[in-house]
Amino acid sequence: MISVVSRDESCTARVAAAVAAVVRPRDLIVLAGPMGAGKTAFTRGFAAALGVSRDEDVTSPTFTLVHEYRTGRVPVHHADLYRLRTLGEVADLGLRERADLGAVVIVEWGDVATGVLGDHLRIDIEPDEDDDDTRHLTVSVEGHSWDARWERLRTSVTGAAS
Ligand SMILES: Nc1ncnc2c1ncn2[C@@H]1O[C@H](COP(=O)(O)OP(=O)(O)O)[C@@H](O)[C@H]1O
Ligand SMILES: [Mg+2]
């Protein structure tokens, strides 16, 4: 596990860019944390670091369910599972399949459906109890696809937050 503290939104964006620096096609990233934690803010920094144009509006895909950003160095598919009620509905989005086809998939509220997502990197974003702008970010992994990159990820992420 990698734990860092973010003191403001730009720090969260830097951490997201640090993750993006180590990411590759077929990766799936789960974002967990309450409403307003910064999952979309993280995704914005992540997409920007992958070269997604500012013209592609990175917002929570609440109604369309999945946004696809095509202008970066790798296709980024951004999902938000908040409004989905069953694992069947999540499975229908084909998130693992999208990754397997070569995209990077990033999933807000993905922790509710880890069973149908396969191997993934997970970022937990917890608001601080005392400070409105502070977030506690924890990076963990499910599966083995990050084993060879883990120390590189740690160096990248801890450097970005310091
Ligand atoms: N350290 C921080 N990291 C991320 N967002 C922060 C931070 N501090 C304050 N914020 C604010 O918290 C809000 C996060 O909103 P958003 O990313 O939409 O959350 P979520 O997608 O998790 O519901 C934004 O208004 C952002 O400016
Ligand atoms: Mg959101």
State the Cα–Cα distance between residues 22 and 26, nearest whole angstrom. 12
Q: Which of 7, 9, 107, 134 to mutate to test the pocket of ligand 1 (most atoms within 8 A of CB)?
A: 9
Structure letter (DSSP) for residue 147: G
Pocket of ligand 1 (CB under 6 A): 6, 8-9, 11-12, 33, 35-41, 60, 108, 133, 135
Please check the confidence at residue 57 and state whether its pLDDT lies above 90.
Answer: no
Q: How far is the CA of 36 from the centre of ligand 1 (A)?
A: 5
Q: Where are the beta strands (DSSP E) in 17-134?
A: 28-32, 66-69, 76-80, 104-108, 120-127
Please check the confidence at residue 29 and state whether its pLDDT lies above 90.
Answer: yes
Classify 111 in phi/psi space as left (phi over 0), alpha (psi -120 to 50) or beta. Answer: alpha
Pairing relationship of beta strands 104-108 and 28-32 according to DSSP bridges: parallel
The contacts of residue 64 (CB under 8 Å, 6+ apart) are none
Cut 0.85: pTM above it:
yes
Average pLDDT of every residue of the chain: 95
Pairing relationship of beta strands 104-108 and 135-142 according to DSSP bridges: unpaired
The pLDDT of residue 77 is 97
Going by pLDDT thresholds of 50, 70 and 90, the confidence category of residue 33 is very high
Question: What residue ranges define each of the domains in the chain, with the CATH number in brackets?
Answer: 2-161 (3.40.50.300)
The pLDDT of residue 60 is 81
Q: Could you say which ligand is closest to the alpha carbon of residue 35?
A: 1
Longest dimension (CA), the chain: 43
pLDDT digits (tens, 9 = 90+) for 65-118: 899 999 999 999 999 999 888 999 999 999 999 999 999 999 999 999 998 999
